[in-house]
């Protein structure tokens, strides 16, 4: 059974399955819907542990039988419960949910239901209903609730960020906030969606369910949500859907690492805690005997761990740190290295190493900096550039808006070694300042294979948590020295120097300077990939790398990662090798291979020449990639070929 099938099974469950114990249809919420008595807002933390789908509490004081479902969930204090709306919700249905919410407040538990207003699968496919249909359902439900009993609501689950769905979510958020005093959370479909997906729809909080996503990717995804400046609930996997299958030790390790990240950032979790297709099962608190026992004890151990945290816990100090990717020295605009970030999305999480991360807030316009929980500001973003090509005289510019009354200040810095820096600092004045830093007069910046750019932001915290500083339009540029000849040299990957590699991930357009190209205009580059598309006369992009090494080589392997669409878009990839650049062999290609439902062939193309005497003991060989797309009446709007990585490996051998 697929996860999507499980989701729809859960969506179809009756209310009685979601509730611990039965609620009589005559029970009504006994507090006014719009009470003037204001309850303080619930600030969720790592001490909050809950479940998805069901309601993990019953009436206050109700007896709990050992081994029952009630016993299994007795220590949970958060419910991301499934409320499925229809056009004809009964008074009994509404009063039952109002009662569940009241019981949550009476027991100091957080009720954060996900409110499903869609018509089944229109959440992610097919035509949409009129917005008034969705709004009537949501409005009817909320009007029947005492919203002071809620920690908030979540607008459905795993929503897609395209095809008109963001507009629905944006409009429903607006209408709810205009009429009701309740936090409105959002939930994108995993695995790669982030707050900026769909154009930064408004959200008072987010839910993520990145099942089995390993580190460090999971931690980065968490930071991409947290930089939006609103709360986050993490949903880890705690299920045995296939009763004949157990999690691998690797999967257990990934799950535990996700919990560690949640604690590090002081985040609540709501487990996807399912046995088969049900949340209505008990738990053995004795010695674990089964896979589900082990899962239950793992959840209980987490509850015990976080309930030992102090009430004023704000996360570990490490939550302020983040490591960015190394950025490649290579041409990105013409023959220059140009790196820009307008902070319209979460790009800086990938590209910059950070200190003081929890001070940063992003809204799609600028990167704002305010003191986390009232502390003074001292945060940095550091970008590091490395590569085989030589950079010359890097320059940096940045727009700054700082509040002088909060001592807001920004320092730009450049370094060739990470120790000695040249700097430029903003002034204490209102308005937009453009900071500029040039290194043209500094001899140590004349020829660089490694340099760093740092942005340091300091200031005082504002009582209303408004930003002390905003930054925008970061631009880093450098000249480049082209190599004298087009070739690549393998680099050792082990201490002995016997295993060698060349790894091209197309992070810049350095392939233009290192490979011989045919039909270069057909080859399109964007960060992390090259590709071709159908056009009049077709596309036939060819790249040939000359690979050299001082010592003789053996066990040559070539792997190309990407995808082509031969089925619907008439495009194929071909990879082969040669000892002289003229006679080619060992061809692998995408022709005739099965594609996915959209026609894409995503299989890696791999050449292993370790058994071919012609490629043993060579000091030079050639690798060729061909991307061929058929002719089309006009330039097709989409790429039909994408290549993300070329990995060449070999071992040295004695002559």
DSSP string, 434-495: EEEEE-TT-GGGSSEEEEEEEEEEEEPPPTT---SEEEEEEEEEEEEEPPSS--EE-EE-ST
Give strand pairing partners of 195. Answer: none
pLDDT per residue over 326-374, tens digit each? 999 999 999 999 999 999 999 999 999 999 999 999 989 999 999 999 9
Residue 227: other Cβ atoms inside 10 A: 25
Query: Mean of the per-residue pLDDT values for the chain?
Result: 93
Model pLDDT, residue 73? 98
pLDDT at 43 over 80: yes
234 forms bridges with which residues in the sheet? 208, 269
Task: Convert the pLDDT of each residue in 71-89 to its tens digit.
Answer: 999 999 999 999 999 999 9
3-state SS string over 228-288?
A: CCCCEEECCECCECCCCCCCCHHHHHHHHHHHHHHHHCCCCEEEECCECCECCCCCCCCCC
- Give 572-627 pLDDT, tens digit per residue: 999 999 999 999 999 999 999 999 999 999 999 999 999 999 999 999 999 999 99
Q: Is pLDDT at 53 greater than 50 in this prediction?
A: yes
Q: Are 328 and 351 a contacting pair, CB within 8 Å?
A: no
**Whole-structure pTM value:** 0.91
* More reliable by pLDDT, 3 or 335: 335
Structure tokens at 10: 């859960």
Q: 274-312 pLDDT, tens per residue?
A: 999 999 999 999 999 999 999 999 999 999 999 999 999
Residue 168, H or E segment: helix 165-179
Residue 41: pLDDT over 80:
no
Q: Rounded to whole angstroms, what are the CA distances from 575 to 486, 595, 618, 629, 630?
A: 19, 18, 19, 15, 18
When pLDDT is averaged across residues 175-188 and rounded to a whole number, the result is 98
pLDDT at residue number 167: 97
Helix axes 131-143, 91-106, angle to 10 degrees: 60
Q: What gap in Å lies between CA 167 and CA 154, rounded to an integer?
A: 16
**Position 442 confidence tier, pLDDT thresholds 50, 70, 90:** confident
Domain positions in the chain:
49-60+68-317, 321-481, 487-652
Which of 65, 51, 8 minimizes the C-alpha distance to 274? 51
Q: Which fold has domain 321-481?
A: Jelly Rolls (2.60.120)
User: Closest by alpha carbon to 591, among 580, 607, 605, 608?
Assistant: 605
Alpha carbon distances (Å) from 613 to 555, 610, 617, 636: 10, 8, 8, 43
User: Cα separation of 610 and 624, whole Å?
Assistant: 18
pLDDT tens by residue, 484-525: 999 999 999 987 778 999 999 999 999 999 999 999 999 999
The two structure tokens encoding residue 454? 């740092």
Extract the tokens encoding 306: 């976080």
487-652 CATH fold: Jelly Rolls (2.60.120)
Measure the CA–CA gap between 451 and 417, rounded to whole angstroms: 7
In angstroms, the CA 80 to CA 58 distance is 15
Whole-number Å distance between alpha carbons of 338 and 272? 44
pLDDT at 38: 55
Distance (Å) of CA 362 to CA 134, 195, 234: 30, 10, 20
Would you state the pLDDT for residue 30?
Answer: 35
Do 49-60+68-317 and 321-481 have matching folds? Answer: no
Instruction: Count other C-beta atoms under 10 Å from residue 499's C-beta.
Output: 16
- 494-502's contacts with Cβ under 8 Å and 24+ in sequence apart are 497/652, 498/651, 498/652, 499/649, 499/651, 500/549, 500/553, 500/649, 500/650, 500/651, 500/652, 501/647, 501/648, 501/649, 501/650, 502/545, 502/547, 502/646, 502/647, 502/648, 502/649
Question: Does domain 49-60+68-317 sit in CATH 3.20.20.80?
Answer: yes
CA distances from 29 to 26, 36, 112, 364 (A): 10, 16, 17, 41
Share of the chain above pLDDT 70, in %: 93
**Residue 336 backbone dihedrals phi, psi, to 5 degrees:** -120, 155
The contacts of residue 86 (CB under 8 Å, 6+ apart) are: 137
Whole-angstrom Cα distance, residue 447 to residue 390? 6
DSSP 42: P
Percent of the chain with pLDDT over 90: 90
Cα 638 from chain centre: 24
Q: Evaluate if residue 547 carries a pLDDT over 50.
A: yes
Q: How confident is the model at residue 629 (pLDDT cuts 50, 70, 90)?
A: very high
What per-residue confidence (pLDDT) applies to 440? 76
Q: What is the pLDDT of residue 20?
A: 36
| Longest CA–CA separation in the chain, Å | 90
pLDDT for residue 653: 79
Ramachandran sector of residue 361 (left: φ over 0; alpha: ψ -120 to 50; beta: rest): beta
Higher per-residue pLDDT: 654 or 214: 214
Region label for 30, one of left (φ > 0), alpha (ψ between -120 and 50) or beta (otherwise): alpha
| Contacts for 323 with CB less than 8 Å, ≥ 6 apart | 216, 353
The residue-averaged pLDDT of 463-492 equals 95
Res 28 pLDDT > 90: no
Backbone φ and ψ for 511, nearest 5 degrees, come out as -55, -25
Structure tokens at 483: 């190599």
Instruction: Give, to the nearest 10 degrees, the angle between helix 249-264 and helix 291-307.
Output: 20
CA-derived radius of gyration, the chain:
29
- Distances 365 to 362, 368, 380, 433, 449 between C-alpha atoms, Å: 7, 9, 19, 16, 33
Q: What is the pLDDT of residue 9?
A: 45
Q: Which helix (H) or strand (E) holds 556?
A: strand 539-564
pLDDT for 14: 39
Lowest mean pLDDT among 20-29, 243-252, 471-480: 20-29
CB neighbour list of residue 424: distance below 8 Å, 6 or more residues apart: 411, 412, 413, 435, 436, 437
* pLDDT recorded at residue 318: 98
What does the pLDDT average to over 35-52? 79
Distant-in-sequence, close-in-space partners of 194: CB < 8 Å, separation ≥ 6: 188, 221, 224, 225, 345, 346
Alpha-carbon separation of residue 153 from 87, 94, 144, 150, 613 (angstroms): 19, 15, 14, 7, 66
CB-based contact 237:272 (threshold 8 Å): yes
Give the Cα separation of 237 and 375 in Å (integer). Answer: 35
């Amino acid at each position: 059974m697929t996860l999507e099938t499980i989701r729809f099974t859960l969506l179809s469950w009756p209310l009685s399955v979601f509730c611990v114990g039965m609620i009589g249809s005559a029970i009504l919420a006994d507090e006014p819907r719009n009470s003037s008595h204001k309850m303080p807002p619930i600030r969720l933390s790592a001490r909050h542990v809950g479940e998805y789908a069901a309601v993990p509490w019953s009436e206050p004081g109700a007896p709990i039988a050992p081994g029952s479902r009630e016993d299994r969930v007795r220590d949970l204090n958060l419910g991301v419960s499934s409320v499925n709306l229809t056009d004809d919700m009964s008074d009994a249905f509404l009063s039952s949910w109002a009662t569940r919410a009241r019981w949550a407040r009476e027991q100091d538990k957080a009720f954060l239901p996900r409110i499903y207003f869609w018509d089944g699968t229109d959440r992610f496919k097919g035509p949409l209903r009129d917005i008034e249909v969705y709004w009537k359902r949501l409005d009817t439900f909320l009007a029947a609730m005492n919203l002071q009993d809620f920690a908030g609501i979540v607008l459905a689950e795993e929503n897609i960020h395209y095809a008109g769905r963001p507009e629905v979510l944006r409009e429903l958020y607006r209408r709810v906030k205009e009429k009701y005093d309740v936090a409105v959370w959002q939930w994108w479909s995993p695995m790669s969606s982030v707050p900026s997906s769909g154009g930064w729809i408004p959200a008072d909080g987010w839910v993520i369910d990145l099942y089995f996503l390993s580190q460090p990717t999971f931690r980065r995804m968490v930071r991409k949500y947290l930089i939006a400046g609103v709360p986050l609930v993490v949903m880890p996997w705690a299920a045995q859907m296939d009763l004949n299958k157990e999690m691998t030790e690797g999967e257990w390790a990934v799950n535990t690492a996700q919990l560690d990240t949640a604690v590090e950032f002081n985040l609540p979790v709501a487990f996807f805690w399912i046995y088969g297709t049900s949340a209505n099962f008990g738990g053995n608190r004795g010695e674990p005997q089964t896979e589900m026992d082990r899962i239950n004890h793992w959840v209980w151990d987490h509850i015990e761990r976080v309930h030992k945290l102090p009430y004023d816990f704000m996360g570990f100090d490490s939550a302020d740190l983040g490591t960015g990717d190394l950025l490649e020295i290579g041409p990105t605009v013409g023959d220059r290295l140009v790196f820009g970030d307008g902070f319209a999305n979460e790009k800086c999480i990938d590209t910059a190493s950070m200190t003081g991360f929890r001070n940063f807030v992003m809204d799609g316009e600028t990167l704002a900096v305010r003191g986390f929980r009232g502390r003074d500001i001292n945060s940095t973003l550091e970008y590091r550039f490395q590569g085989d090509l030589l950079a010359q005289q890097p320059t940096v510019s940045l727009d700054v808006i700082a509040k002088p009354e909060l001592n807001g200040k920004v320092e730009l810095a450049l370094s060739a070694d990470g120790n000695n820096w040249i700097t430029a600092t903003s002034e204490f004045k209102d308005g937009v300042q453009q900071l500029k830093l040039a290194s043209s007069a500094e001899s140590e910046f004349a020829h660089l294979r490694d340099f760093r750019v740092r942005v340091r932001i300091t200031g005082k915290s504002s009582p209303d948590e408004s930003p002390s500083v905003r930054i925008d339009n970061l631009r880093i540029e450098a000249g480049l020295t082209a190599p004298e000849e087009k070739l690549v040299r393998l680099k050792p990957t082990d201490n002995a120097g016997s295993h060698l590699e060349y790894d091209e991930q197309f992070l810049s357009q350095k392939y233009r300077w290192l490979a011989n190209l045919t039909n270069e205009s057909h080859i399109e580059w964007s960060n992390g990939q090259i590709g071709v598309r159908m056009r009049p006369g077709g596309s036939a992009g060819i790249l040939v790398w000359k690979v050299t090494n001082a010592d003789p080589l053996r066990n040559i392997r070539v792997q190309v990662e990407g995808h082509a669409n031969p089925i619907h878009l008439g495009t194929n990839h071909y990879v082969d090798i040669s000892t002289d650049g003229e006679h080619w062999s060992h061809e692998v290609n995408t022709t005739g291979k099965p594609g996915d439902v959209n026609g894409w062939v995503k299989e890696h193309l791999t050449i292993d020449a370790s058994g071919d005497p012609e490629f043993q003991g060579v000091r030079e060989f050639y690798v060729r990639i061909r991307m061929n797309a058929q002719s089309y009446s006009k330039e097709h709007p989409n790429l039909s070929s994408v290549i993300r990585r070329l990995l060449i490996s070999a071992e040295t051998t004695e002559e």
